[in-house]
Structure 1
Amino acid sequence: MKAARYYDRGDIRIEDIPEPTVEPGTVGISVAFCGICGTDLHEYLDGPIFVPPHGHPHPISGEAAPVTMGHEMSGVVYAVGEGVTDIAPGDHVVVEPYIIRDSVDTGPDSTTYHLSDDMNFIGLAGHGGGLAEKIVVARRWVHPVGDIPLDEAALIEPLSVGFHAFKRSDAKTGDFALITGAGPIGLLTAAVLKAEGITVAISEPSELRRKKALDTGVAAHVFNPIDTDVVAEVKALTGGKGADVGFECTSVQPALDTLFDAIKPTGVIVVESIWGHPASLEMQKLVLKEIDLRGTIAYVNSHPETIKLVKEGKVDLRPFITGKIALENLIDEGFETLIKRNETAVKILVDLSK
């Protein structure tokens, strides 16, 4: 089968590899769509980060580069292993793409499995990936999506990132939130916040992405930080107080600085983006405003609630899909577009359904 394989920074190859074997307790999935994630771009530009370098196998998966990429996937079940009785061939599913030790509690009440030692992700540290025709995944990490269209379902994974960030923020109905960056994660975080009754403002230099934020209705206010004083605008909209919560979705220093100035005293800033380089922090602002700076990584038991938001019509994922490409065009039409012309696209999906 065809698969996109990560060898090293700047080196991803489309290759033929053997199909995976469906074993007891696992689910075989024919991949329909797989999104290109900002994390994938970081691996391509700055990595290896999550990908174990060649010669240094991951302690859980036992794999090292080259590995099959892709972790934002949807597909159709084609087979189930012995012991799997609640999913059947033909079911439409998405994958919660974790690589976690078997000894870790990943039950429905767990709130920390995503922080366990040596945690990593399917499609980055091994165990196959969504940028391939088929993948086999342990039943625990497979979530049925019912009648959600499979292209939209591929966005459940990044939507879950936004949902977990919302939970980390402790934001509540009636709050005012500022998001820096209207890429996929920023926009999908905004979609979750709006569904939860929170007023959203977004700071984003790309005209296309600003328009997407407005056209989808996920943001009530959208600013271009190049020609607008975002801090002044936010304070004007909040009676001089500042935003209750902020979400950093760019890994760009000026965006983080803006949040520190625009957030109210005792406000919360959640950093969602993966930084491939060190950031600087004006510690005095954090201290004097008693700002609560929080990190967030991925999700934890977030997929069921996220899927429910989509099924209930509280989040519409279709408008965020701005392109579909073939696996063979992953680099030139996918990665190169998102790296060099990211103002022209939001979420590009690789179509593996044909």
Structure 2
Amino acid sequence: MRAAVWHNAKDVRVEENWEVKEVTKTDVKIKVAWAGICGSDLHEYLHGPIVIPANAPDALTGDTAPIVMGHEFAGVIDEVGSDVSDFKKGDRVVVNPLYTHGVKPPTLDLYDGFAFAGLASDGGFADYCVIPESMVHKVPEGMTLEEGALVEPMAVTVQALKEADFKFGQTCTVFGAGPIGLCTIIAAKAAGASKIIVFDLSEERLKKATEVGATHVFNSGNVDPVEEVKKIEPEGVDASFEVAGVGVTLNQAIHTAKSRGTVVIVSIFTKGVEIKPMDLTVSGVKITSSLAYEPEVFQRTIDSIAAGALDVKGVITDHIELEAIVTDGFERLSEDKSQAKILVKLSGES
């Protein structure tokens, strides 16, 4: 089968004869329809290995590179293992790609160690993927498989709003209007945010932010974000979502939150940053973080998309063929800031 395989930084190869794994008694084999390119995929392509197990087997999956990439995907079940009872051939499904030890309660399990299919085991940039039954969810009627490929990034942001204890009518800032920033805007809008104030350096991304629900957008290279927020909300916002991953935006997120407001770090920081603890002490602002999602949040995200409460299609900026994943996917995303979520077509089923 065809598969986009990570071998090293800047060395992802679309291989024509990659061998799909054997289906064990608790696995399902999925004919992949659509898969999204994530920022973490791009980081692995440009700078990896970051989390891909290149030198030793992953502690949870036991796999090592080379690995088929792709952890945002949906498709149709092609085969089920002998002990699989909840799924059958032909079921439309989306994959929760998160591996955990599963020995702690759901709210703590994620922080006991985790890995992702597509980063620590073979994932969805392939014609077929074999995955444990426990990681598979049915796609409801009325929801497309393209939307299914967007469940994973949306679940990240639904979890972020849960971490903020965000309530209907509250206000927020979003620093960074890349794919996860756009999903944060969509989630905040669905949660009933009255004001969603977004900052980015890209005019193209700010335009897209407006399209998906931002009420105010600013180029942070042209204005002081803290001053602009205080013009709109003199006391600050209820929640600030840091989705850029740089020190300056983290500090801006802190200073745009109101007294006893919340800052949620959603991005991945590649190096240390400096903050002043007294900025928190004198304001009561709380900092929390969110990286992935609890199983219940993943299912809730599916249900919300299917019900039309989360309109995710607005983040899609292009569809490409698997053979073009390097040139039209990774390279393009690294150079073209107008791109948000690029979907890779495998079977292309709906």
How far the C-alpha of 1:60 sits from its partner, in A, is: 2.0
Alignment of 1:237-276 (within 5 A): 237-238=232-233, 240-276=234-270
Letter in 1 for 2:277: M
Task: Please tell me whether residue 316 in structure 1 is matched to residue 311 in structure 2.
Answer: yes
C-alpha separation between the residues in 2 aligned to 1:231 and 1:60? 43
RMSD over aligned Cα atoms: 1.5
Deviations 1:177-205 (A, max 9, x none): 10001111111111111111113111122
Deviations 1:221-274 (A, max 9, x none): 111111122212211222x10111111111122221211221112211111111
Alignment of 1:1-354 (within 5 A): 1-15=1-15, 16-54=17-55, 56-101=56-101, 104=103, 110-117=106-113, 119-126=114-121, 128-147=122-141, 148-198=143-193, 199-216=195-212, 218-238=213-233, 240-301=234-295, 302-341=297-336, 343-353=337-347
User: Equivalent residue of 1:194, what SS?
Assistant: helix
* Unaligned residue ranges in structure 1 (runs of 5+): none
How many residue pairs get aligned? The number is 344
Letter in 2 for 1:104: V
C-alpha separation between the residues in 1 aligned to 2:300 and 2:202? 31
Provide the identity percentage: 38
Letter in 2 for 1:77: I
C-alpha separation between the residues in 1 aligned to 2:277 and 2:331? 36
Letter in 1 for 2:268: I
Deviations 1:283-312 (A, max 9, x none): 221222222111211101111110111111
C-alpha separation between the residues in 1 aligned to 2:21 and 2:346? 16
C-alpha separation between the residues in 1 aligned to 2:87 and 2:261? 43
C-alpha separation between the residues in 2 aligned to 1:65 and 1:87? 30
Deviations 1:3-60 (A, max 9, x none): 1111222222222311222221211100111111011112222321211123x11122
C-alpha separation between the residues in 1 aligned to 2:18 and 2:270? 30
Letter in 1 for 2:92: H
8 A Cα contact 2:20 2:130, kept in partner: no
Give every structure 1 segment of 4 or more consecutive aligned residues whose post-TM-superposition deviation is greater than 3 Å: none
C-alpha separation between the residues in 1 aligned to 2:58 and 2:178? 30
C-alpha separation between the residues in 1 aligned to 2:341 and 2:177? 11
8 A Cα contact 1:42 1:276, kept in partner: no
* Unaligned residue ranges in structure 2 (runs of 5+): none
User: Equivalent residue of 1:315, what SS?
Assistant: coil
Deviations 1:194-219 (A, max 9, x none): 11111311112222221112123x21
C-alpha separation between the residues in 2 aligned to 1:162 and 1:100? 19
User: Equivalent residue of 1:77, what SS?
Assistant: strand
User: Equivalent residue of 1:112, what SS?
Assistant: helix
Query: TM-score, normalised on structure 2?
Result: 0.94
How far the C-alpha of 1:133 sits from its partner, in A, is: 0.9
User: Equivalent residue of 1:222, what SS?
Assistant: strand
C-alpha separation between the residues in 1 aligned to 2:204 and 2:35? 22
How far the C-alpha of 1:70 sits from its partner, in A, is: 0.6
Query: TM-score, normalised on structure 1?
Result: 0.93
Letter in 1 for 2:36: G
8 A Cα contact 2:262 2:286, kept in partner: yes
Moved more, 314-323 or 39-48: 39-48
Letter in 2 for 1:64: T
Letter in 2 for 1:205: L
Moved more, 224-233 or 302-311: 224-233
Deviations 1:138-174 (A, max 9, x none): 1111011123111121001000000001111111112
User: Equivalent residue of 1:276, what SS?
Assistant: coil
User: Equivalent residue of 1:31, what SS?
Assistant: strand
